[in-house]
Amino acid sequence: MRSLPVRLDAVLVQALIAAALSFAHLHDLAAAAGQDGWKAWAYPVSVDLLLVAAWRRLRSGGSKAAGWCWFLVALTASLGANIATAGLLDLDAVPAWLRILVAGWPAVAFLGGTLLAHGPTAESEAAPAPAPIPAPERPAVEAAPEPAASPGTPVPPALVTHARKVADDHHARTGTPIDTPTLRARLGVPLPLAEAIAAQLT
C-alpha cells in the first residue's frame, strides 16, 4: 500500500513549537498559582480553545466586535503567562492578585466561549424575515335585495298623506318637485314602496 507523502510546512512547524511553549508557560503559571494536578493542564487548553473560537468568529464574517474582544482577552492571558514565566515573576511566591486572576479565569473563558458559540452569525443576520402570511379573503357579502312591492298592493292612505306633505315642503323650499330617491330618503321606506307613493303623488 502506497503511503501518502507528508509535507512539512515551516510555518506549521513554527506554529506547533509556539503553541507547545505557550501551553507549557500557562501550565507552569497555573501550577504556581495553586492549581495543581489536572487543573493546571486544563488552563492552557481553556485559553487556546478561546483563542480558536474567537479566531473562527473573526473568519466567519459575523459580528467582529465580539471576536476581537475575546481574541484579545485570550491573547492577553497567553502573552501574560509567557512573560510571567520568563523570570520576571517569582513562581515560588505568586502574588495574591495573580492567584485571583488565575482562579477567576474559568468563569471568564466559559462566558466568552458561550457568547462566541451562541452569538449571532453572518448567516442568522443575513437571513431574510419570513414573508407575512396573507389573511384569507372573505367572500363579499351581497346586500339583500329590497322586497319589491306587490303589484296592486294599496299604499296606506296615511303614508300617502304624509308623503304629500313632505313633497309639498320640498317643492316650497327648492321650487322643484321631489324625486323618488329624495322621497325614499325622507320617508325611510324601500325603493319599490317609494316608487308606488311617488306614482300616487303625480
**pLDDT confidence bin for 51, thresholds 50/70/90:** confident
Torsion sign over Cα 51, 52, 53, 59:
positive
Q: Which pLDDT score, from 0 to 100, does residue 79 have?
A: 85
Task: Kindly tell me if the per-residue pLDDT of 140 is higher than 70.
Answer: no
Q: 149 pLDDT exceeds 50?
A: no
pTM of the complete model: 0.49
Query: In the structure grid, which three cell numbers stand for residue 118, read together?
Result: 451562541
Q: Look over the chain and give the mean of its residue pLDDT values, rounded to a whole number.
A: 78
Q: Which residue has the cell 509535507?
A: 7
Most confident of 55-64, 100-109, 132-141: 100-109
In degrees and rounded to multiples of 5, residue 198 shows phi and psi of: -60, -35
Rg over alpha carbons for the chain, rounded to the nearest Å, is 46
Average pLDDT over residues 142-166: 67
Each residue's pLDDT tens digit, 96-112: 888 888 888 888 888 88
Confidence of residue 94 (pLDDT cuts 50, 70, 90): confident
78 and 23 Cβ atoms separated by less than 8 Å? no
